[in-house]
Amino acid sequence: MKIKDLSWLQVVLLFIGVIFTSWVLYSEPMSNFWLNLYFYSFLIFLVTWLMGIYVLRAGNKSLQLILQKRLVATLSIGAFLTTVNFGLSACNFYNKRFCAPTCRVGIDNPLVSPCFYGAIIFLISLWVAIKLYKKFKKVQ
How do residues 99-117 score in pLDDT, each as one tens digit?
Answer: 555 566 566 677 888 888 9
pLDDT of residue 122 exceeding 60, the answer is: yes
- Which pLDDT belongs to residue 99? 57
Query: In the prediction, which pLDDT does 106 show?
Result: 62
d(CA 76, CA 136): 18
C-alpha 31/C-alpha 79 separation (Å) is 24
Which has the minimum average pLDDT: 27-31, 84-88, 91-95?
A: 27-31
- Cα separations in angstroms, 87 against 15, 55, 70, 80, 93: 24, 32, 26, 10, 10
> Does residue 29 carry a pLDDT above 80?
no
What percent of the chain lies above the pLDDT cut of 90? 52
Query: DSSP per residue over 3-46, as a string?
Result: HHHHHHHHHHHHHHHHHHHHHHHHHS--S-GGG-HHHHHHHHHH
pLDDT tens digits for 65-75? 999 999 999 99
Distances (CA, A) of 10 to 6, 37, 47, 116, 133: 6, 22, 13, 20, 11
Which parts of 28-106 fold into alpha helices (H)? Answer: 37-57, 61-94
The pLDDT, as a whole number, for residue 112 is: 82
Q: What contacts 51, CB < 8 A, 6 or more positions away? A: 67, 70, 71, 74
pLDDT of residue 42: 93
What was the pLDDT predicted at 100? 54
**With pLDDT > 70 as the criterion, what percentage of the chain qualifies?**
86
